[in-house]
Amino acid sequence: MHRHPIGLLQRPFGQSFGSIFQRYSKVADEEKYATEHITLEKYENEDEDVYKERVKVLKDKESNTSALKLVRLRKEFENKRGYEKKVAVNDVYLGFEYGECFALLGPNGVGKTTTLNIVTGALEQSSGKVYVVGKELKGSREISKFIGICPQFYVIWEDLTVRNHLEIYAKIRGCPSGKIRGIVQKAAEGVQLDGDAFNMRAGQLSGGMKRRLSIAIALLGQCPIILLDEPTTGLDVGSRREVWKILEKIRSSGQHCVILTTHAMEEADALATRIGIMVKGGLRCLGSPVHLKTRFGDGYKFNPMNTNRVFIMFVCINVSLLSLMIYFFYDV
């Protein structure tokens, strides 16, 4: 192929020299940022458990004994109005082990979904590294072999049946053609969609059944890492309990590392072996449910001596009325 003698100076694919310079300057800034900010010293106002996790990740970041490691993960979004960049994920250090269920807890806009999108390759991090099974993977094709994702919103086709969905995603995951039928049947049984629902179109399924189908898709291919982005959002109490039972079964098998995001402390307490609470893109505290309750759960104390008498009488009257209602209506 003929090359221009000054080809190195030509604009590749119509890019200007300014855009090329900005791109390489960005890479240089990221490397400089990474070098300056990786330290084993404790930051000011850093939680003790978050500090220990950071040190543990830095000392053993390339070990293949962990399912997933996030090393100083950071994501910034450009502001078109010229203001400061929006930091969605702020230097997160986390390590996830096989057999654990980790809950990323926090309100909307703290960076939970952004963190998962970076792990799956849907978003590119501004800086930091993601190690999957001890390797830094780049590209969605490589990542899909190790990670199954149940997104926050349904990614299904209304006109296809449950069976069609599972067969399509099994082929995408690279499951052997001769074993797809058995794999699909087992996945449907695992989420209780192997009965009449197996041949129903997705448009005919309830919200809870659609969520179970999304979980089954994430489990196809025996991925060691399962990501669940708010898996019970919008579900009624009964459907939520059914999803919880499925997730408990997945966790108890010990074959997967399950990472879920949620708004509800109740859900995190019921499912997770460890909980990380995110605030403004960073980890504020970390630990098992019991550990967090011991450290931060002071509870509520009711002292009648320091309470208004009128309020005490109001409470007593309401309790008495409630007791009478139970007695008469339920014939206790």
Q: Residues 281, 322: one domain?
A: no
Q: Residues 105, 128: one domain?
A: yes
Report the pLDDT value the prediction gives residue 133, as an integer from 0 to 100.
81
Tell whether the model's pLDDT for residue 164 goes beyond 90: yes
Model pLDDT for residues 302-319, shown as the tens digit of each residue: 565 555 665 666 666 666
Mean pLDDT of 140-169: 85
Q: Residues 84, 132: one domain?
A: yes
- Residue 327's domain comprises 304-332
More confident residue, 11 or 37: 37
Q: Is residue 152 part of a domain?
A: no
Q: What is the mean pLDDT of the chain?
A: 79
Report the pLDDT value the prediction gives residue 201, as an integer from 0 to 100.
92
Model pLDDT for residues 133-154, shown as the tens digit of each residue: 878 876 556 677 788 888 888 8
Model's pTM, two decimal places?
0.74
Question: β-strands 147-150, 225-229: how paired?
Answer: parallel
* C-alpha–C-alpha distance, residues 196 and 182, integer Å: 17
Q: Residues 289, 318: one domain?
A: no
Tell whether the model's pLDDT for residue 271 goes beyond 70: yes
Q: Residues 69, 85: one domain?
A: yes
CATH of the domain at 98: 3.40.50.300
Q: How many other CB atoms sit within 10 Å of the CB of residue 185?
A: 14
Report the pLDDT value the prediction gives residue 41, as an integer from 0 to 100.
77
- How many domains, the chain? 2
Report the pLDDT value the prediction gives residue 64, as an integer from 0 to 100.
67
Q: Is residue 276 part of a domain?
A: yes
Of 36-45, 60-69, 89-98, the range with the highest mean pLDDT is 89-98
194 CB-near residues (< 8 Å, 6+ apart): 185, 188
